[in-house]
Amino acid sequence: MDDNQEKLTEFEIKQIARRFETSDVEEILQWAVDRFGTGLVMTSNFGVEGIVVMDKLARIAPQTPIIYLSTGYQFPETDRLKDRLRDLYDLNIVEHRAELSVEQQNQVFGEKLFVRNPDQCCHLRKVEPLQKALKGSEAWIAALRRDQSPTRATIGIVEWNAKHQLVKINPLATWSRRDVWDYVVRHNLPYNTLYDEGYTSIGCVPCTRRVMPGAHERSGRWDGQQKLECGIHL
């Protein structure tokens, strides 16, 4: 952001969000790049929605930092896709890790914290690293969709994120899962091969399951628990 540019008020953010309800993703991203410049970051675990946003962002501002939270529990397929995308788009992927390695976490909190207390595990391995990663940023692009889960149903295309004190941009908020896959297929984009094996949402290995055809796309995350979110988007 230009030093002379005033910070957006919450009222202005709501007005911009309303204006963008029918806008193209490119228009939203271009606005974000123009408005926030080097203060803009994106987060991704290289889910299929993130690939769509990266494909478009790479044409506008390819050096925008892509924050990747490397939990130590990620699928090797996810890491392979990350490397492929970095080569394809020359992305500026910035990896952030928890303070404790998985082994250290096991020593301090006991084995399989993800079973006994997944909220604490997510806090240590995702929420805390994200807090550090976003420090100093003015705006954060995330590839969330409203129809992914009840917890995402009311997200704005642009919104004030009080937790991190920055503007959050959800350029795919109005997209459906079909829209995303149509785009990926039409543009022949790479995607996580686990989608071809029955996974519909991909997180950490211990907390991600295949789902039956027709099941809700996020039902394979923290299967058997009440948990719907890791906490970074709450």
Cβ atoms of 21 and 173 within 8 Å: the answer is: no
By the rule CB under 6 A, 47 interacts with ligand SF4: no
Which of 13, 23, 73, 219 touches ligand SF4 by CB under 6 A?
Answer: 73
By the rule CB under 6 A, 129 interacts with ligand SF4: no
By the rule CB under 6 A, 121 interacts with ligand SF4: yes
- What residues does 93 pair with on adjacent strands? 66
- 230 is a catalytic site residue: yes
N-to-C CA span, the chain: 26
Taking the complex as a whole, how short is the minimal distance between the CB of residue 127 and ligand SF4, in angstroms?
9
Taking the complex as a whole, how short is the minimal distance between the CB of residue 128 and ligand SF4, in angstroms?
11
- Closest C-alpha among 184, 178, 173 to residue 23: 173
Q: Residue of minimal CB distance from ligand SF4?
A: 204
| Calpha distance 219→204 (Å, rounded) | 14
How many residues sit in the footprint of ligand SF4 (CB under 6 A)? 13
- Closest C-alpha among 19, 63, 23 to residue 172: 23
Q: Interface residues with ligand SF4 (CB under 6 A)?
A: 71, 73, 114, 118, 121-122, 125-126, 203-204, 206-207, 230
